[in-house]
Amino acid sequence: MSAAADLLSVSPTRSPSLRLAGRSGKVSAWTFPELEGPVLLEVRRFADARGVFAETYSHRDFAALGIGDVFVQDNWSRSNSVGTVRGLHFQRPPHAQAKLVRVVRGRILDVAVDLRRSSPGFGRHVTVELAEDDGRMLYVPVGFAHGFCTLEPNSEVAYKVTDVYAPECDAGVAWDDPDLAIAWPVARDVAVLSEKDARLPRLAALEAPFA
C-alpha cells in the first residue's frame, strides 16, 4: 500500500484504506474501496536544481485509468484564512459537473459526499488532504457534492469541471450537517464561510437530483 493511504480518512463506518486501481504513464490512481466514484490521483514529479516539473493532466492517461471526462472549464480560488470552508457544492442536471481538484498553494482537506439516491453509499463521504507539493488530486464524479477546508493561509485551489457554471443549476448541502458526520478540522463558530454557503440546506431537506 502506498504512503498515500496515510492521507485518507472516510466516514466512521468506513475503512480508511486505499486501493491501487492502476497506473498509466506518469499517473497512479487510487480508489476508495467502500465508496465507489471518487478517485485519488498522483502524478509523477521531476525535481532538479531548478525546481520541480509535473504533467498535471493527460487526457490519454486519465482515460486509460477510467476517467475519460471532457473538461471544459478551469476554476481557481484563493482563501486568505485557515479554516475557510467552501462547499458543499454541486450542479443539478442538465449541467451536472465532475471535478478534478488540486492544490497549487497551501493545503486543504478535500471532501466528496455521495448524493446518488440509488447508491449504497448515499450520504457517505470521503476526505483526503491535498497539498501543493504532493502531486495529488481528487476526481469527484457527477453525483457528488464537493467542498474543502483550508489548512494553511492563502491556500489556492485549481479544479477542472466538465460543464460550465450554470446559476440556475447551482445547489449545495450544509457543510456542517450532523447527519453527514464529516470530521472537519475547524469548529462551526470559527469557520469562514460565504453567506450563501451558510444558508445551504441539510441533506434530509434536499431533493437529490441524482438517481
pLDDT the model gives residue 8: 34
Active site residue 57: no
Single out the catalytic residue among 89, 125, 139, 146. 89
* Calculated CA dihedral for residues 180, 185, 189, 195, nearest 10 degrees: -70
DSSP-derived secondary structure letter, 152 = S
pLDDT the model gives residue 23: 97
Collect all residues with Cβ–Cβ distance below 8 Å to 7 and sequence separation of at least 6. 128, 129, 134, 136
pLDDT the model gives residue 16: 54
pLDDT the model gives residue 208: 80
Single out the catalytic residue among 59, 146, 159, 165. 159
Q: Residues 97, 159: contact at Cβ < 8 Å? A: no
Q: Residues 156, 48: contact at Cβ < 8 Å? A: no
Collect all residues with Cβ–Cβ distance below 8 Å to 50 and sequence separation of at least 6. none
Three cell numbers written together for 184: 472537519
Three cell numbers written together for 12: 466512521
Contacts 24+ apart (CB under 8 A), 176-179: 177/202, 177/203, 179/123, 179/203, 179/204
pLDDT the model gives residue 74: 97
Residue type (1 letter), 46: F
* Calculated CA dihedral for residues 54, 59, 61, 63, nearest 10 degrees: 150
Give tens-digit pLDDT for 170-191. 999 999 999 999 999 999 999 9
Active site residue 159: yes
pLDDT the model gives residue 133: 92
Burial class (CB in 10 A: 0-12, 13-18, 19+), 12: exposed
How far apart (Å, rounded) are the C-alpha atoms in residues 98 and 101? 10
Stretches where the chain sits below pLDDT 50 are: 1-15
